[in-house]
Structure 1
Amino acid sequence: MKKFEDFGVNDYKEVTKNGKFILFFYADWCPDCKFIEPKLPELEDEYSDFQWISFNRDNNMDMARDLGIMGIPSFVIIENGQEIGRLVNKDRKTKEEVENFVNSVINK
């Protein structure tokens, strides 16, 4: 999974304007983020038609605020610059919950 900082730009809209993306918001201190992190490679493989990008919320607070991301871990799906789904709250998430979320968005 690429980190937002790997792109060398400050605007997530520029990065996500073409293609399909799943954005993962986390913080280093967040135990619920640490809970889902080991499953992220499996999720990336399962949904490989999406580019996965991680955002450390604490390092990107302006963007998180702009997107309304206060609870973590959270996931946002963007296709060609448009948000098409979000799983944003402060609850612990299982791999199955993330799969159900992604499937509900892509199977609309």
Structure 2
Amino acid sequence: MKHLESVAEFNELKDNGKTIFMFSADWCGDCKFIEPVMPEIEAEHDDFTFSHVDRDQFIDLCADLAIFGIPSFLAFEDGEEIGRFVSKDRKTKEEINDFIDAL
């Protein structure tokens, strides 16, 4: 999964194609819990581009997007938000796949 480098890159990704942003942080235990399965999730949903957003590096962007719990997922298609799986709760591979399948 690519790591987001700038807000400009965020805007470029969200405005072009189908992108899922995963918001997390190095210190987040629940984020670490799902990291091992993320490559499998990405492979199962190759119609999306996946991008990791470090909550601490992009705290203002998170506030603007109302991302107050991590890990969280935000999906866009050509600039339009098409779904969000946002909470502070631990997420399973099945829950993440269900979220993506429902988009």
* TM-score, length of structure 1 as denominator length: 0.91
Following superposition of structure 1 onto structure 2, how do residues 63-78 of structure 1 map, counting pairs within 5 Å?
Answer: 63-78=61-76
Q: What corresponds to 1:102 in structure 2?
A: 100
Count of matched residue positions in the alignment of Structure 1 and Structure 2 = 102
RMSD, matched Cα: 0.9
Structure 2: gaps spanning 5 or more residues:
none
Q: Which residue of 2 aligns with 1:21?
A: 19
Q: Which amino acid in 2 is paired with 1:96?
A: E
Q: CA deviation at 1:104?
A: 1.2
Question: After the TM superposition, which residues 1-108 of structure 1 pair with which residues of structure 2 at under 5 Å, given as runs?
Answer: 1-5=1-5, 9-11=6-8, 12-105=10-103
Q: Deviations over 1:23-67 (max 9, x none)?
A: 000010000000001000000000011000000001000100010
In structure 2, give the amino acid aligned to 1:10: V
What stretches of structure 1 move > 6 A for 4+ residues in a row?
A: none
Determine helix, strand or coil for the equivalent of 2:89. Answer: coil
Return the TM-score normalized by structure 2: 0.95
Q: How far, CA to CA, are the matches of 1:77 and 1:34 in structure 2?
A: 20
- The CA deviation at 1:18 is 1.1
Distance 1:47 1:25 in 2: 18
3-state SS of 1:33 partner: helix
Deviation of 1:16 (Å):
1.8
Percent identity, aligned pairs only? 52
Q: Please give the alpha-carbon distance, in whole angstroms, between the structure 2 residues aligned to 1:15 and 1:21.
A: 6
What is the rounded CA distance, in whole Å, between the counterparts of 2:15 and 2:26 in structure 1?
A: 27
- Using the TM superposition, give the Cα deviation of residue 72 of structure 1 relative to its aligned residue in structure 2, in angstroms: 0.1
Helix, strand or coil for the counterpart of 1:76?
strand
